[in-house]
Structure 1
Amino acid sequence: MAEAVVSSQVGLSSPALAAKKAPPANINASQWRNALFIAPYLFFFATMLVFPLIWGIWLSFHKADTFGVGKFVGIANYVRLFGDKIFLQSVGNTFYFVLLTVPVLALLGLFLALALNRQTRSAAFLRTAFFSSSVLSVTIVTLIWRIVFIPDFGLLATVYGWFGTPAPAFLSSPDLSMIAIAIATIWWCIGLPMMLYLSALQQIPGEIYEAAALDNANRWQTFRSITLPSIKRTFILVVLIQVVMQFQLFGQARLMTQGGPNNTSKPIVMYIYDIAFKRWDLGMGAAASEVLFVLILIAAMAQYLLTRKRGEN
């Protein structure tokens, strides 16, 4: 009987002893099966971004049209590109549009977030109202603002008519056409910066504001010393996102002004569209695309570095 008990105890404890004797698994060892989790992302990243970028660079050094890729021409496409006055004008138009929209979107979005960062029904309704425009398509947005800016019969013309003065011809004026597109774009895109700022503001602990109130800090001191440093990274993110997005202006200019009058509202993307898909000069269109890519990269990196240095100072 005693032997049976002893043997049963040994049998029960043998798996534990075997487990103790087994060498421990190396948790730092590379396991290639973990790559399966990121394989779908890497596949689409390579096929949708990396390969088109490399193909576009290769195409920009060749003479290409709808019949196929021709001979290697080196930098001839770039030479023709920078010799085209319309392309240089489109570059200037794009930079002008970015300067019109990005500062307004960054600052106006911050102002709206500060004003609507309240737990009230009216604030919730206004947040929904301002964000609702962001879900509209570019076609609907341009249709709405064409109704506003259309001469003689538009909403703006009606308002000016109440005061007995003619409305400015926004869509047909060389000086005002890009401003009209910028106004429509700001109305369309203001929801995203506002929501990003709201998310950052709601992460700030309320105890910090209570301590500032006990120290008799006014609103400006609280904003400058607490709120602004706390949302600095979000501000940089908003600016970078808007720079990248607004450099890719196309739909608003295409549907509101057709790039006119006299190409004064034609952006780079619209120039690429005309060259590649109307004149079927794919090599020159690819060269213009690479120039746009470099401009976006330089602008975004410069903005990031300048903003980071100011924040550190």
Structure 2
Amino acid sequence: MKQFSKVMVGLDLTKMDETLLSNIKIWSPILGIEKIYFVHVAKDLSIPEELSKNYPDLLAPVDETIIRGIKHELNEFSFDPTEYEIMVKEGSPMETVLRWCKIKDVDLLVMGRKKQLEGSGSLAKNLAQKSPTSVLFIPEGFGTDHPSKLLVPLDFSDYSRITVDLALKLAAKVNATVACCHLYEVPAGYSKTGKSYEEFKGIMLQNVQKDFAKFTAKHDYTDLPCEFILKEKQSEARYIIDYGKSFGADMVIIGSRGRTHSAAMLLGSVAEKLIQLNTEVPTLILKKKGENMSFLEALLKL
């Protein structure tokens, strides 16, 4: 699989890095990773002038110190030095990571998803929204076993085809199971049809089942299971997470679609909410490479 041959991994020098390194080590041969860029972004890498004057031999340059620390961690996980490059940069974390994703032409950005460690996760969400490439979130403390159950939320779009194709390829490599889910709801004006809520719920279910049958026939998906979930009061993302728990999913793969051609092509609202709520299993936001490039180019000109 050459889809993710170049990968960028964001490190923040906390215990989150251990989770990222242990997982990326396992996933590297599965994803076909050939080159990894480990990047750490600091707002300021300079040593205060007064301190450097008074103690000229006390501190090594900050970037060199960080690089040595990252190298030590990589050695602990037996990473081959020929397969990676360490980058320590100064500036705004989001803008800097996005800029280097473009410069290095990476296929996948890997970020940690914290739930108890210090940090709100807002940077990770913003990077996922605006990244020109796919983004994989790995939750804090997640184990390193190969995933055995992959969940793919569907809307029967072209992105659904792309995500199912990827899930099936990954599943074949690690002997995993793929399951899909699709959310449907009863339209607000159903009562004007003269039918009850229960009757119209049945009509909507039959309709989405037909759509799924057309989708699988069009793309030649044989025996692809799909759970049809009635959306009522919760957000779509919450239904996906709840079903994922009942299914025992250990990875979610969801497609991202651009909302508009102006201002920025951001994640679809369901994928965005899923990032905020899911802190338990890895989530891969799959994008067509370069789909946010117009936004990124505008950002880098600021």
* TM-score normalised by length of structure 2: 0.22
Compare CA radii of gyration and give the structure with the larger one: 1
- Larger strand proportion, structure 1 or 2? 2
- Larger helix proportion, structure 1 or 2? 1
